[in-house]
Chain A
Amino acid sequence: MDLTKIIKRAEAKGAQQTEVFSFEGRALAAIIESKQVKICEQKVDFGWGLRVALKRNAGYCLGFSYSTEFSNEAIGQTVKQAVKVALIKKSDPDFKSFQPKKPPVTVNGLYDSTILDITPENITELGQRLVKPSTSDKRVKTVRGSAGCGIGKTMIENSLGVSGEYGTTSFWVGVSVVAEEASSVGVGWDEYGNRFYNDRVIEEVASNAKEFSISQLHPKPIRGGTMDLIVAPSREGLPELLLYSFVQGLRADNVQKQQSPFVGKLNQQIGSQELTIIDDAHVPQALGSKPFDDEGCPTQKTVVMEKGVLTSFLHNTYTAYKAGIPSTGNALRIAAFSAKPKYALEPFIGPTNMVIKSGTITQEKLISEVKSGIITRGFIGAHTANPQSGDFSVSTTGAFKIENGEIKHPIKEAMLGGNILDLLKKVELVADDVKHMPYAWYGVDSTLIAPSILVRGAAITG
């Protein structure tokens, strides 16, 4: 696809700076419902988005539009629409430029050609294998989940000389199991996501989810109070808790709008000494890895928290210019509450792979450190957090009571309330059981890579 042609057309219509982003994706998935492969899906989507910057007064006006067609007529209309929007807007003195050209970086482990050969028959077989461990157990009431893979191609070009493309593949399996016994219900789940094909994990994911659902049967209520909390790595757990408060608070656009609990907290101790968190776009085979971000800025490793000290926010080109520093390469064309595909969105800011630095002790040892507390794999209602203040109130799901260093019994839902800043301060130990977990609405584009953590003195309501 010739992106240069589009840039020339925009320049002819008066754009001083132009940027074109395109994405083409294919996905194949087997969806599991009611303990069986229910449907197989194949999807194709492609399109491109155009940003133009028109100089006016002390700054630039920005306009955006997109299309799924490449005809001359479609290009003409898209350019016209982007210019029109730019002319409506007030000049933005904080906009200095689209992403300037920088030396490219190479990231390995983005593309696994094995995935090109996966057929619908292959994927439904993987789906069937995900269900299998659950079929023999009478206590399993139902299984839901999916197995899938995808191929993507991202291209970007701008009038400042940025030009690049990369291909990605993805592979994911996930399953959720409901067990029932004597009118008690237990829910369990597990998942795996990677840029490379790996069907060897399937049996483990499937049996983990099943075992977990059964271990959740016959829960008991607990008495609330201030107690220790272990958050075990799972997609419903820490990624949920962090996404709607911590991650949104790290976004430099939210900070600059004064809509983050981290305003004025840079270089301050905001978390426990035990916590080092890195946004790392270069983790081999991780789903958030990529050579450049959605504005063409080469990606990097950004330490956002070093031993509890807040060291960096996540920037795109716009917020970086405004802050007078280089972009961290976190432009991401995914927005909360938008159903639009990537190419139809302007760049916002988001994580790549957010890595919580592993500790050296096992989860078992972590549990042995707890005299009285709970361990949970998930939270319900994390999206109701207040992203401006970091306050949240959630219920646990998949939680157990710990007494004297041992897991005792599953618990009926308990509530955890607090502020994310306060919670991060109370992290006392980090284990070594690292897991890759997707962030909910960032889909297969961002991950949290984290182990179990121990929070001392969390406020739990029984």
Chain B
Amino acid sequence: MIEAFHLMEIADKAVNLAVDLGANYADVRIEKEFSTEIRLTNERFDSAVNGIDKGIGVRVLFNGAWGFSSTCSLNSKDVKNAVENAVKAAKATSIRIKERAVLAPVPVIEDKVETPVRESLAAVGIDEKMNLALKVSGVVRGYSHKIVSANIRYEDRAGEKFVSSSEGIKVLMRPSLARLVIMAVAREGEKITSATEPFGLHGGFEVLDWEAIEELALIAAKRADGMLEAHPPPSGRFTVVVNPTLTGTFAHEAVGHASEADLVVAGESILQGKIGQKIGSECVTICDDSLYEKRWGFSVYDDEGVQMQKKIIVDHGVLTAYILNREAAAKLNLTPNGGARAQSYAFRPIVRMSDTYIVPGDSTFEELLEGIRHGVYVKGSRGGEVDPAKGTFQFNAEEAYLIKNGEITTPLLDVSLSGLTLETLSNIDAVAKDFELEPGRCGKEGQLVYAGTGGPHIRIRNAAVGGRA
């Protein structure tokens, strides 16, 4: 508690100094975070690090122009420099700016939120975490002789984050979260395949449930092994059945990014001006849900100290919301919904997703396959990329199968899907009732933040499938 009080005191001083120096608005984020990162290949640790990162980020508005400054030192001289630098930076922006920023009003909140933790991540020794990684690696490699390696990444973070603003917002958060990413690599002759399964939740070390992890380790191994039999895919347009992981990638990449209001107001999103319009088929509802407890993108407040909300971006095919920060909310005349996040104190908050998913429908998986004469079933994501301005997306599956007459048949290698977001949203004609939500990471403007993606199995008609020729 003394620690937290200390952070709050530094923040208060910094906010006051910024105002004294002429800032019309200032917010300060101070963080002190314990983290562990472990990278294991088979039995060798490429890296195993415990560390404490701390620092302050100061953001100010001067005449509607932004300045930002950060430093990893919390001593009073360095904090003072950081505040002065932020104000100078804002003044330098103000002589160039054309359209001055306005912030939409938000409730002035004073609150303290803490992630419930049974086993503190900082108190659990790094040896225990390293042993967990070794155990997972053993399970993956024990699956079959074709599994040539297991790459295990373990990461956790626990700490304190204090957001304070010149409007009086004071929010202290104590997040705690842990994740394992399990990758199995299989080889037969020249052929190499891999599959990845992540597991991660908010909470203490107790969230890393061994039974669930062991199952995922075996699934990763089985999937990599199975793909050794795969053949190059056909290319062209097909009816595609998409598994929950890739459904999540689509929801995040193609729709989520385009609904980020900073891109919308900058004229860089195809969803600009489309609120209230039908952009997809009736069966599609997409949420960015910051309030899904324990899940990877969960947070009660964002990095502007605004309460985060469950945003229903697409409701039965109709675009209903953007993800907003205060500035974009003011510009669009909307109420802020808590969408401003920063990688750490060293970065300014920008509009980000949290946990993004397609809401389950009422079909069974078998019903999705029914009647497909010649199609493709895609599973697992190797990642994706999107151009929100053009509304194009591209993502690659880890695993795929040919669908023939409603049956899943031959495995296919390195299948990718690409297309136009709006066209694809309209081509989704069935949504299953299953659901998965996975922990991942999202990069935007050089900032990486934790974000979850998921949904049910879905079916897309007339999707562009490509692959290596």
Interface residue ranges, A against B (CB under 8 Å): 30, 33-47, 63-68, 81, 84-85, 88-90, 92, 119-121, 123-125, 127-128, 141-142, 144, 178, 180, 185, 187, 224, 226, 253, 257-259, 261, 335, 337-340, 344-346, 348, 380-381, 383-386, 388-389, 391-395, 397, 413, 415, 417-419, 459, 461
Contacts and interface: CB of A to CB of B under 8 A. Distances in A.
Q: Which of B39, B52, B236, B469 has the most CB of A within 10 A?
A: B469
A395 B392 contact: yes
20 contacts: A38-B66, A39-B68, A42-B68, A43-B69, A85-B49, A85-B126, A89-B48, A89-B130, A187-B387, A226-B469, A259-B192, A261-B192, A339-B448, A344-B49, A380-B387, A383-B383, A386-B194, A391-B468, A415-B464, A417-B414
B432 interface: no
A44 B392 contact: no
B254 interface: no
B96 A127 contact: yes
Nearest to B327: A38
A204 B78 CA distance: 38
A258 B194 CA distance: 13
B73 A64 contact: no
A53 B452 CA distance: 38
A392 B466 CA distance: 11
B181 to A, nearest CB: 9
Interface string B85-113: 11011111101111100000000000000
B416 A144 contact: no
B47 interface: yes
B54 A393 contact: no
A178 B387 CA distance: 11
Closest CB pairs A-B (n = 3): A459-B469, A120-B92, A384-B396
B71 interface: yes
B70 A348 contact: no
B88 A393 contact: no
B267 A141 contact: yes
Given A258-B148, A258-B187, A259-B149, A92 B50 contact: no
A413 B423 CA distance: 14
B390 A187 contact: yes
Contact of B266 (A45, A144, A224): A144
A381 B467 contact: no
Interface in B245-263: 262
A37 B82 contact: no
A306 B50 CA distance: 42
Nearest to A347: B47
Contacts of B387: 187, 380, 397
Given A36-B99, A187-B389, A381-B395, A64 B268 contact: no
Interface stretch (B4-12, B311-319, B340-348, B354-362): B340-348
B37 interface: yes
B467 A41 contact: no
Nearest to A35: B98
A391 to B, nearest CB: 5
B69 A381 contact: no
Contact of B126 (A36, A84, A337, A340): A84
B235 interface: yes
Contacts of B95: 121, 124
Contacts of B47: 64, 335, 345-346, 348
Contacts of B396: 381, 384, 393
Interface residues of B, number: 91
Interface string B375-406: 00000001111110111101110000000000
Contact of A459 (B51, B69, B90, B468): B468
Contacts of B50: 65, 81, 85
Contacts of A44: 70-73, 78, 81-82
Contacts of B130: 88-89
Interface in B13-61: 37, 39, 41-55
B185 interface: yes
B28 to A, nearest CB: 15
A398 to B, nearest CB: 10
B285 interface: no
Given A33-B262, A125-B96, A418-B468, A337 B390 contact: no
Given A187-B389, A257-B149, A418-B468, A389 B193 contact: yes
B320 interface: no
Contacts of B466: 393, 415, 417, 461
Given A258-B187, A259-B149, A381-B394, 18 more contacts: A34-B267, A39-B68, A39-B93, A40-B67, A44-B78, A65-B49, A68-B54, A90-B43, A120-B89, A257-B149, A340-B53, A381-B384, A384-B384, A384-B394, A384-B396, A389-B191, A417-B466, A459-B468
Interface in B419-469: 441, 448, 464, 466-469
B128 to A, nearest CB: 9
B147 to A, nearest CB: 12
A384 B382 contact: yes
Given A259-B185, A380-B387, A42 B382 contact: no
Contact of A419 (B44, B236, B390, B468): B468
Contact of A386 (B151, B389, B414, B448): B414
A338 B37 contact: yes
Given A39-B66, A125-B96, A461 B235 contact: yes
A428 to B, nearest CB: 18
A144 B350 CA distance: 14
Nearest to B232: A417
A413 B392 contact: yes
Q: Which of A391, A392, A393, A459 has the most CB of B within 10 A?
A: A393
B265 interface: yes
